[in-house]
Structure 1
């Protein structure tokens, strides 16, 4: 995942992520199905939020303001996105492994349905692997391939070894996120940089991580194979 400063880089270390481009052709349909769930406008808005916070950190107020105009427009468009779904936070199924450093919810999950916007997604290795085990060695080999710019080879290595991965969706509460960005925009207009940044952080902290399983195991590998869905 790329939109949040607390998320790890996309090298395939134990417990970190395999990006969409790292999927093998044999997993292509599952990947297309998974990533088709993401909102283009939602993804754009949260890219803008992350970049606006970076601009504020660098005292680029004008740059942050332009990014927030774009984020506001993107979130307005997202309200008609057919990828938005209604669910109470208490009904969400958390990912098996949330990204390292992801903030914990500050309040009890809500029980009233709200609109959720899927804004990002990645694949995370779900197994706790010993580095010296065959699967651990496969992860090490996959890392080597990634460092050489060969993501397809990395994914193939993991697939052959039957390393389990989990598709993690980052979802944002649409109305609350739009309110946070609008609030940040007004605060920044009033030159209140600190609280504008806090409002954008609130939007990022409202992200929740939910998962759908996917195992990169070839057909015929036996009981360890689970269907992608």
Structure 2
């Protein structure tokens, strides 16, 4: 299953959800939007963008392009191993959100009870109201989507705040070592001209993604004399 990536490193997608009556919805504001994006790993996001693009390249018969993308993904995973956004937790202990993005991978096995390192690779703001796309709030979400896809988080937040749209932030996390192993395996299979096997290995990495509530990941501490660095 191909994971729906939302943007290169910076943007999340506001989804028109039908989750009415969600009690924990938090009004969007600039501070919250900027804070949430500090929880994402730049290298982790890059690796999964590479995975998605590599699968597209394979589907188009561009093995040379896929090879370059997998080299980049392997390097990104190596850097991500020292990312302060990595956290240890057993899958069985993950805090699941009330609603997950459409098309989210569905686990096929029981959750593992052994702690592993997880890497936050993406995030989505999911609207907790049942909205008509043509309503004032629906229009605000469309405008916010456009801003987020350009990396303009403050502008997106302003659109939502003016319209008083409530959203929940959901994080996409990946098991670091397993994902890195899948990409390494895909690289070797591709080197052996097994494009089908390489694609299957990349699909395994995408299907290892889990969605959790934002409180599973702490915002990294700001360096002395400065502010926490935001994803871009």
Does the alignment reach a TM-score above 0.5? yes
The reply on whether 1:95 has 2:97 as its aligned counterpart is: yes
- Aligned mates of 1:92, 1:147 — CA distance in 2: 28
Higher CA-based Rg: 1
Determine the structure 2 residue equivalent to 1:4.
Answer: 3
Determine the structure 1 residue equivalent to 2:140.
Answer: 142
Q: Give the alignment's TM-score, normalised by structure 1.
A: 0.76
Determine the structure 1 residue equivalent to 2:229.
Answer: none
Q: Which runs of 5+ in 1 are unaligned?
A: 17-25, 214-229
- Aligned mates of 2:135, 2:16 — CA distance in 1: 11
Determine the structure 1 residue equivalent to 2:21.
Answer: none
Structure 1 residues 7 and 78 mapped into 2: Cα distance closer, same or farther (>3 Å)?
closer
Determine the structure 1 residue equivalent to 2:40.
Answer: 38
User: Which residues of 2 match residues 150-229 of structure 1 at below 5 A?
Assistant: 155-156=157-158, 158-212=160-214
Report the Cα offset of residue 186 of structure 1. Answer: 0.5
The reply on whether 1:119 has 2:121 as its aligned counterpart is: yes
Deviations 1:56-107 (A, max 9, x none): 0100000000110110111011111111000000111112221101121011
- Aligned mates of 1:73, 1:139 — CA distance in 2: 41
Match of 2:214, SS state, is: strand
Q: How many residues align?
A: 198
Deviations 1:114-137 (A, max 9, x none): 00001111211023x1539xxx83
Q: Which runs of 5+ in 2 are unaligned?
A: 19-27, 216-232
- Aligned mates of 1:121, 1:55 — CA distance in 2: 24
User: Which residues of 2 match residues 59-78 of structure 1 at below 5 A?
Assistant: 59-78=61-80
Report the Cα offset of residue 147 of structure 1. Answer: 8.4
Q: Contact (CA 8 Å) 1:6, 1:101: kept in 2 or not? A: no
Q: Give the alignment's TM-score, normalised by structure 2.
A: 0.75
- Aligned mates of 2:45, 2:5 — CA distance in 1: 17
**Greater relative contact order: 1 or 2 (C-alpha under 8 angstroms, separation 6 or more)?**
2
Q: Contact (CA 8 Å) 2:30, 2:157: kept in 1 or not? A: no
Q: Contact (CA 8 Å) 2:3, 2:103: kept in 1 or not? A: no
Report the Cα offset of residue 32 of structure 1. Answer: 2.3
Tell me how large the CA RMSD over aligned residues is: 3.0
Structure 1 residues 139 and 90 mapped into 2: Cα distance closer, same or farther (>3 Å)?
same
